[in-house]
């Protein structure tokens, strides 16, 4: 579905190469996690896939068509949620579906449907500032889902949340993904999160940003963080990191 072919990127002519010769493809309905230490170009890669940044070399194709600018087919979840503070939760979710040909009733039905899905239908009239960080992230997820995109791009979606909220939202996201079958590209530096959510993990290494290794997770969809298999992948990835970096990395269990 998404084809990334020999993509290179630097932010300025003389500047360092941020991404170098990156190639991989993403199949429909797949969950891909991109893992790597800070500054290795994960966000840059995601921005290129979303059409927010132009690539210098190579191309990124969505269903064989080159991505040149952001589109509704591919919704980005922002690192800081990106809710509009002057709009209520309901109006925030409606933001993306106001300008398509839907009747008022269809808009509010769809909005309520997805707010219910993330368990926030009773907070529809609250302002984002009145919600906790985890609730705000759920609103952002509902807003993305309401647009029924084919791809959702997530840049460290749960990075700012405490462990319990993070686990809870990861579960929720898994269930929604299984139901809605959308494709997800997830940037994270939490190894557990990557193993828990992804079908495939791409490990990046910095200077210049390259794909260091691809790990296909042969785990059932229903995962348990205490499983032996889970532990196996955890070690595998951890060793990859020790291999590529001298510096310590963030390691959440």
Partner 1 sequence: MAKVKKLSPIAIGFILLLVFWQFAIFIGGHQSALFPPPLKVGEALLAIISDGSLFAHIQISLFRFFSGYLAAVIVAVILGLLLGRSMLVWKVVDPIVQVLRPVSPIAWSPFIVLWFGIGNMPAIVIIFIAAFFPVLLSTVSAVKKVDRTYLRIASNFEMSPFETLRKIVLPASFPMIANGLHMALGSAWIFLVAGEMVGAQSGLGFLIIDARNSLSLDLVMACIVVIGVLGLALDKGIHYFESWVNRIWGSAK
Ligand X SMILES: Nc1ncnc2c1ncn2[C@@H]1O[C@H](COP(=O)(O)OP(=O)(O)OP(=O)(O)O)[C@@H](O)[C@H]1O
Q: Which residues contact 31 (CB under 8 A, 6 or more apart)?
A: 177, 183, 184, 186, 197, 198, 199, 200
Specify whether the CB–CB gap between 31 and 188 falls below 8 A.
no
Q: What is the footprint of partner 1 within residues 119-158 (CB under 8 A)?
A: 125, 127, 147
Strands 31-35 and 183-188: parallel
In eight-state DSSP terms, residue 122 is: G
β-strand pairing of 31-35 with 200-205: parallel
Rg (CA), the chain: 18
Nearer to partner 1, 75 or 185 (CB): 75
* Binds 50: which of partner 1, ligand X, Mg ion, none (CB < 5-8 Å by kind): partner 1
Nearer to partner 1, 17 or 71 (CB): 71
- Write out the binding residues for partner 1, residues 24-53 only, by CB under 8 A: 50, 52
Listed ranges 4-12, 72-80, 177-185, 221-229: which one lies at the site for partner 1 (CB under 8 A):
72-80
Interacting residue ranges for ligand X, rule: CB under 6 A: 11, 18, 36, 38-44, 189
Q: Whole-number minimum distance, CB 85 to partner 1, in Å?
A: 7
200 binds partner 1 (CB under 8 A): no
Cβ–Cβ < 8 Å for 202, 217: no
What does DSSP say about strands 210-216 and 200-205: parallel, antiparallel, or unpaired? Answer: antiparallel
Nearer to partner 1 among residue 98 and residue 235 (C-beta): 98
Shortest separation between residue 139's beta carbon and partner 1, angstroms: 13
- Residue closest to ligand X when measured from CB atoms: 43
List Cα–Cα distances, 191 to 114, 130, 143, 161, 239, in angstroms.
Answer: 29, 31, 27, 15, 12
Binders of partner 1 among 76-95, rule CB under 8 A? 76, 78, 80, 82, 84-88, 91, 95
157 interacts with, out of Mg ion, ligand X, partner 1, none, CB within 5 to 8 A per kind: none
Task: Kindly report the length of the chain.
Answer: 253
| C-alpha to C-alpha distance for 229 and 41, rounded to whole angstroms | 29
76 contact, one of ligand X, partner 1, Mg ion, none, CB 5-8 Å limit per kind:
partner 1
Q: Are 40 and 206 spatial neighbours (Cβ–Cβ below 8 Å)?
A: yes
Residue 89, classed as helix, strand or coil, is helix
Interface with partner 1 by CB under 8 A: which residues? 50, 52, 69-72, 74-76, 78, 80, 82, 84-88, 91, 95-96, 98-99, 125, 127, 147
């Amino acid at each position: 579905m998404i084809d990334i072919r020999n993509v290179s990127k630097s932010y300025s002519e003389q500047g360092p190469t941020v991404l170098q010769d990156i190639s991989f493809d993403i199949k429909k309905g797949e969950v891909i996690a991109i893992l790597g230490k800070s500054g290795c170009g994960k966000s840059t890669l995601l921005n290129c896939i979303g059409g927010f940044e132009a690539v210098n070399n190579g191309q990124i194709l969505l269903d064989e068509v080159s991505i040149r600018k952001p589109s509704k087919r591919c919704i980005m979840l922002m690192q800081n949620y990106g809710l509009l503070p002057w709009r209520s939760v309901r109006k925030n979710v409606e933001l993306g579906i106001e300008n398509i040909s839907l009747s008022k009733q269809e808009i509010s039905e769809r909005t309520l449907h997805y707010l219910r899905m993330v368990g926030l239908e009773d907070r529809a009239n609250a302002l984002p500032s009145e919600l906790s960080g985890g609730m705000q992230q759920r609103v952002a997820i509902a807003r993305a889902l309401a647009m029924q995109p084919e791809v959702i791009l997530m840049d460290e979606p749960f990075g700012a949340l405490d462990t319990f909220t993070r686990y809870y939202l990861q579960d929720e996201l898994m269930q929604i993904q299984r139901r809605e079958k959308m494709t997800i590209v997830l940037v994270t530096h939490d190894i557990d999160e990557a193993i828990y959510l992804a079908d495939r993990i791409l490990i990046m290494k910095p200077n210049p940003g390259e794909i260091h290794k691809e790990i296909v997770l042969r785990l059932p969809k229903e995962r348990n963080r205490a499983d032996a298999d889970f532990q196996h992948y955890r070690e595998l990835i951890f060793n990859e990191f020790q291999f590529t970096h001298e510096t310590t990395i963030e390691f959440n269990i």
